[in-house]
């Protein structure tokens, strides 16, 4: 893989939690792995006054805590890439000094005027900061910039963190604001789930193996389950979470990205343009339920008290009448040839029985059960592919075999690939490879504007007034440590199916 261009990675919100816990540790890992150009540097921007050395000392504690096999000598090298600028990026008076600092760094570090902005700030600051970047003339789209090598052309790109909007209207507004400053090919809407190995590996599993792709359709697959379960509560994020909920926080973003990889058509070639085009098409083909159908297509819940803390609507910062969901399950259908009639069930929630992110592909039973009178053969299909994304990284394929001995007795067996055991590598923070992709100009694992807006359109019936019936009786309707409210089980039971809740 060719080395990426040198650049200045400008992190807005450098004093925040995301920068400390994820972004800087991921960049340290990329440095250790030799994935950063020798001239690439990082400029953290935040309102808090501090020096370069103070910021380096602060983030070193996080890097040492977050990164396996932290190497102090490698940190000394990496720390020289880190610089800090104090200023309010949402205000115009910040930019003359910031522009001067960027010009100085471009000349002294040899970054050729290439800038990669990362929006690690509150969602309401995205548009103001983008407007100020544009007004300050920092985006020149390949024109000569500062006093760096005048024969070289520079690029300016932006990475936008989720949540990308709060609903369909705000997402479209943010896209317009970004489009006024940057070309679409310079906008990188990041979702760190696409940096996870098993999510990317789903494309290889499907499209590099003829044993799967011919069966990957409504004729052979009964249904698909996508789960992202957490055992933790909302912590200190009650104000944020009460404005967000499980659908906005997880389903519309992370789980729809997994959904797209599971359901999309094969691209003609693995290129950014082709992969993103297929993702756009599959999201656009989601069947949107009518107002009368919404309650039958979802299950919403809030966790009850557990003796450690109260029920969700009893927490400090949450309105007692709040109907924000801490658990959501929705049923999705696609209006296309491949998946006609095949349901996809998607669920996510807080304070559930186990921490798990996985995809379950349940195949249909054989057309005729010739073993129906023999022990061990239920007539139900044993064929199931489970793709475990977290906390383990595994593929698990289940099928029936004969039990050794006299007579014909059937039993389910599992064939498993454990990534850590097979490849003997430690996982890296998912943000690192994605940021490096942005430095290389590779948009394969980033969302297109149309895809984002399509995803919001698909979930809006479960968020707006059409979901009122589904939110009735939501308070404390599932116990902590369970798999969610009874309505989630009913969602599948109405179709004669059950969730995979196995350990």
Q: What is the pLDDT of residues 287-340, one digit of tens each?
A: 999 999 999 999 999 999 998 999 999 999 999 999 999 999 999 999 999 999
What is the reported pTM? 0.93
31, 192, 223, 254: the catalytic one is: 254
Cβ atoms of 264 and 286 within 8 Å: the answer is no
Q: Is the pLDDT of residue 152 over 70?
A: no
Please give the backbone phi and psi of residue 112, each rounded to the nearest 5 degrees, phi first: 60, 20
Q: Is the pLDDT of residue 154 over 60?
A: yes
Q: From 450, 447, 443, select the one nearest 162 (Cα to Cα).
A: 447
For 106-165, what is the HEC assignment? HHHHCCCCCEEEEECCCHHHHHHHHHHHHHCCCCCCCCCCCCCCCCCCCCEEEEECCCCC
What are the residue ranges of CATH 3.30.360.10 in the chain? 194-493
Q: What is the spatial distance between Cα 99 and Cα 103, in angstroms, rounded to a whole number?
A: 6
Q: What is the pairing mode between strands 344-349 and 221-229?
A: parallel
- pLDDT-based confidence at residue 2 (cuts at 50, 70, 90): low
For CA atoms 232, 224, 260, 456, give the dihedral sign. negative
Least confident of 23-37, 93-107, 406-420, 465-479: 406-420
Q: Is the pLDDT of residue 209 over 90?
A: yes
What are the residue ranges of CATH 3.40.50.720 in the chain? 8-161
Reported CATH class of domain 194-493 = alpha beta
- pLDDT-based confidence at residue 239 (cuts at 50, 70, 90): confident
Neighbours of 203 (CB within 10 A): 18
Q: What is the pLDDT of residues 95-122, one digit of tens each?
A: 999 999 999 999 999 999 999 999 999 8
Strand partners, 162: none
**Residues 128-149: what's their mean pLDDT?**
76
- pLDDT-based confidence at residue 433 (cuts at 50, 70, 90): very high
Catalytic residue at 448?
no
- Which of residues 421 and 152 earns the better pLDDT score? 421
Whether CATH 3.20.20.150 fits 8-161: no
């Amino acid at each position: 893989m060719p080395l990426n261009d040198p650049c200045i990675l400008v992190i807005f919100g450098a004093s925040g939690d995301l920068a400390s816990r994820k972004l800087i540790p991921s960049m340290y890992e990329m440095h250790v792995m030799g994935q950063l150009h020798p001239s690439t540097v990082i400029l953290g921007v935040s309102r808090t006054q501090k020096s370069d050395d103070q910021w380096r000392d602060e983030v070193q504690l996080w890097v040492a805590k977050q990164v396996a096999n932290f190497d102090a000598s490698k940190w000394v090298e990496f720390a020289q890439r880190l610089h800090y600028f104090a200023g309010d990026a949402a205000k115009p008076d910040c930019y003359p000094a910031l522009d001067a600092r960027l010009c100085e760094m471009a000349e002294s570090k040899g970054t050729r005027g290439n800038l990669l902005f990362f929006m690690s700030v509150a969602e309401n600051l995205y548009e103001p900061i983008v407007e100020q970047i544009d007004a300050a003339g920092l985006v020149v789209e390949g024109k000569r910039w500062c006093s760096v090598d005048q024969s070289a052309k520079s690029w300016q790109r932006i990475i936008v963190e989720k949540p990308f909007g709060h609903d369909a209207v705000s997402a479209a507004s943010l896209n317009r604001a970004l489009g006024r400053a940057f070309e679409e090919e310079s906008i990188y809407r990041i979702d760190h789930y696409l940096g996870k190995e098993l999510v990317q590996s789903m494309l290889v599993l499907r499209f590099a193996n003829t044993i799967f792709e011919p069966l990957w359709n409504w004729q052979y697959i009964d249904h698909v389950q996508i789960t992202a379960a957490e055992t933790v509560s909302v912590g200190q994020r009650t104000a944020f979470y009460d404005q967000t909920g499980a659908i906005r926080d997880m389903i519309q973003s992370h789980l729809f990205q997994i959904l797209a990889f599971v359901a999309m058509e094969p691209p003609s070639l693995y290129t950014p343009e082709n992969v993103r085009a297929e993702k756009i098409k599959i999201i656009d083909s989601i069947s949107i339920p009518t107002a009368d159908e919404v309650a039958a297509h979802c299950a919403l819940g809030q966790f009850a008290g557990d003796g450690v803390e109260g029920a969700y609507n009893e927490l400090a910062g949450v309105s007692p009448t709040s109907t924000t969901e801490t658990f959501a399950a929705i049923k999705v259908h696609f209006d296309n040839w491949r998946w006609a009639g095949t349901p996809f069930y998607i669920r996510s929630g807080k304070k559930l029985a186990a921490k798990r992110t996985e995809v379950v592909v349940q195949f249909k039973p054989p057309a005729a059960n010739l073993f129906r009178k023999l022990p061990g053969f239920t007539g139900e299909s044993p064929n199931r592919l489970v793709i475990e994304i977290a906390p383990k990284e595994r593929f698990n394929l289940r099928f029936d075999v004969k039990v050794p001995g006299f007579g014909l007795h059937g039993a389910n067996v599992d064939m498993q690939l454990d990534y850590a055991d097979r490849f003997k590598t430690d996982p890296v923070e998912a943000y690192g490879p994605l940021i490096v992709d942005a430095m290389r100009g590779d948009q394969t694992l980033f969302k297109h504007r149309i895809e984002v807006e399509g995803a919001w359109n698909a979930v809006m019936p479960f968020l707006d007034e059409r979901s009122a019936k589904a939110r009735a009786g939501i308070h404390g309707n599932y116990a902590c440590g369970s798999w969610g409210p009874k309505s989630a089980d009913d969602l599948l039971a109405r179709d004669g199916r059950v969730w995979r809740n196995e350990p």
